[in-house]
């Protein structure tokens, strides 16, 4: 049997070791899985070459899980993470709750970040200090198959009406190829596909006074156009997500994709995966009443307000977003940069022929509303968009009901 002193010693030792274990890392980063995780892994490896003694813990989590963990941890002020990767739609919630450190308290942010991407790192948006830095320059692009357009005498679509004409022409003349493809799965996918069209038609989700306006005449017109496009989409579009959209493009089963993300684009020109090498034109989405309104999907990284290693976190963040690191990540992994100089770098443009168009799309990019409840608003809108798509409601009824529910959610 252990003596009392031996037991005390063992307890003290285990507590000390436990505490040491809990605080072992010099920097704890909460990030995403997939390509973002690979990019963070690569950056951590390079950063550690210059800081060999630093112990960096990197968590790579799926989208939903990352959000849940961050909200719970930051709300509890647990100090578990020093650096956190954020989708831009979470930014307002995180910044307004005081969960992120002001990055400009020690001086202005410098560098050639594209203005639209840095604007949404600020709180209030575009005006206040930056609470994060843009890491991934995601923007929804539009793609069409130039070879098929040439075959049927169509030119680059100038607006969404022209998109409908092109989709109708190709699907009528070529039964094996759908005119258009998009993500129809409910929730974030269908909303993301719809927003560039909605904004281009003059739709507004929440007005300046904070009132929802999705059921305006422009909104209804946009949804009717979207539903019209469905006629030229493949069967089962209601459950299409990124994999199905990519497959349809790469297998030459569609002529137009109304939503293409920068991470999908490189595989279109990869002959081992694609039958449309050099055929797809990747451009900013067309306009209609308004000009082109591509949707921004910027991933940002912020230092938490309760960070235990604030200095290390700021230093790593500066390295992660440096032009040099962004160029390497773009060339190695195709991670879209957020700095103008990387988009105009000759090595990068040689590898990604659509980067000048992507830069243009980022400059005209539109962010989703800066409201705390965006997650819920998006889910509501996604539910009703899909009810309209499967024919259970007409466009007007769906948007009226969505507007009523969004109004309730915003008042909560």
Partner 1 sequence: MLFRSRLQLLLLMSPATLLLAMLTLYPISQILINAFSYVDYVGAERQFVGMDNFVELSEDWFFAGAIKNSLSFSVLASLLQVGLGLALAVLFDRQFAGRRFALPVIIYPMMLSTLVCSAIWRAWYHYDFGFLNNALLSLGLEPVQWLFDPDMALFSVMLVDIWQWTPMAFLIILAGLQSIPADIKDAALTDGARGWRRFRHITLPLIMPQVLLALLLRSIDTFKLFDKVYALTGGGPGNSTETLSLFIYKQGFKFFNLGLASAAALLMLAIACALSAVYAWRYVGAKS
Minimum distance of partner 1 from residue 68's CB (angstroms): 6
Binder among 242, 322, 379, 397 for partner 1 (CB under 8 A): 379
CA distance 43 to 328: 9
Q: Which segments within 196-290 are labelled E, that is strand?
A: 256-260, 280-283
Q: What gap in Å lies between CA 316 and CA 321, rounded to an integer? A: 9
Among 25, 58, 61, 71, binds partner 1 (CB under 8 A): 71
**185 forms part of the interface with partner 1 (CB under 8 A):** yes
Give me the least distance between CB of 77 and partner 1, in Å please. Answer: 11
- Residue 187 as a binder of partner 1 (CB under 8 A): the answer is yes
Of 386, 399, 403, 406, the one binding partner 1 (CB under 8 A) is: 386
Task: Give the residue, chosen from 9, 239, 277, 350, that forms a contact with partner 1 under the rule CB under 8 A.
Answer: 239
236 binds partner 1 (CB under 8 A): yes
In the list 12, 14, 23, 97, the residue contacting partner 1 (rule: CB under 8 A) is 97
Taking Cα atoms as reference points, which of 318, 339, 332 lies closest to residue 115? 339
Burial 198-223 (b: 16+ CB within 10 A, else e): bbbbbbbbbeeeeebbbbbebbbbbb
Closest CA to 31 of 55, 57, 60: 60
What lies within 8 Å, CB to CB, of 383 at 6+ separation is 186, 187, 402
Stretch that binds partner 1, among 52-60, 101-109, 321-329, 404-412 (CB under 8 A): 404-412
Phi-psi region of 107 (alpha: psi -120 to 50; beta: other; left: phi over 0): left
Question: Binding marks (x or -) toward partner 1, 23..42, rule CB under 8 A?
Answer: --------------------
Q: Give the shortest CB-249-to-partner 1 separation in angstroms.
A: 15
Q: Which two tokens stand for residue 27?
A: 């920097």
Residues of the shown chain interacting with partner 1 in the complex, contacts defined by CB under 8 A: 64, 67-68, 71, 75, 97, 185-187, 235-239, 373, 375-376, 379, 383, 386-387, 389-390, 392, 401, 408-409, 412
């Amino acid at each position: 049997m252990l003596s009392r002193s031996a037991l005390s010693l063992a307890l003290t030792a285990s507590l000390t070791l436990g505490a040491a274990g809990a605080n072992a890392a010099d920097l704890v980063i909460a990030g995403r899985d997939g390509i973002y995780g690979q990019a963070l892994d690569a950056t951590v490896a390079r950063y550690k070459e210059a800081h060999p003694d630093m112990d960096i813990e990197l968590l790579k989590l799926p989208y939903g899980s990352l959000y849940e963990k961050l909200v719970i941890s930051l709300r509890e002020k647990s100090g578990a993470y020093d650096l956190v990767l954020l989708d831009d739609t979470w930014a307002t919630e995180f910044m307004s709750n005081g969960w992120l450190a002001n990055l400009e308290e020690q001086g202005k942010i410098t560098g050639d970040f594209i203005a639209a991407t840095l604007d949404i790192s600020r709180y209030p948006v575009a005006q206040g200090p930056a609470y994060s830095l843009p890491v991934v320059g995601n923007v929804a692009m539009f793609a069409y198959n130039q070879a098929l357009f040439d075959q049927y005498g169509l030119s680059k679509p100038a607006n969404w009406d022209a998109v409908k004409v092109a989709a109708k022409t190709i699907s009528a003349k070529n039964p094996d190829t759908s005119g258009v493809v998009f993500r129809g799965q409910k929730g974030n996918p269908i909303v993301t596909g719809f927003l560039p069209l909605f904004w281009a038609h003059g739709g507004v989700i929440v007005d300046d006074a904070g009132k929802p306006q999705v059921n305006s005449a422009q909104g209804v017109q946009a949804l009717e156009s979207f539903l019209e496009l469905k006629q030229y989409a493949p069967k089962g579009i209601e459950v299409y997500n990124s994999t199905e959209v990519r497959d349809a493009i790469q297998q030459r089963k569609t002529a137009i994709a109304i939503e293409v993300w920068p991470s999908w684009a490189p595989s279109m020109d990869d002959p081992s995966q694609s039958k449309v090498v050099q055929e797809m034109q990747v451009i900013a989405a067309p306009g209609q009443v308004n000009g082109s309104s591509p949707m921004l999907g910027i991933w940002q990284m912020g230092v938490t307000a309760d960070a235990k290693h604030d200095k290390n976190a700021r230093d790593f963040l500066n390295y992660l977003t440096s032009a040099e690191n962004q160029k390497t990540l773009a060339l190695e992994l195709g991670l879209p940069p957020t700095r103008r100089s990387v988009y105009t770098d000759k090595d990068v443009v040689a590898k990604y022929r659509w980067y000048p168009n992507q830069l243009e799309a980022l400059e005209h990019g539109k962010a989703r509303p800066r409201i705390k409840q965006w997650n819920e608003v998006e889910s509501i809108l996604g539910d009703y968009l899909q009810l309209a798509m499967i024919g259970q409601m007409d466009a007007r009824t769906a948007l009226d009901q969505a507007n009523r529910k969004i109004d309730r959610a915003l008042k909560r």
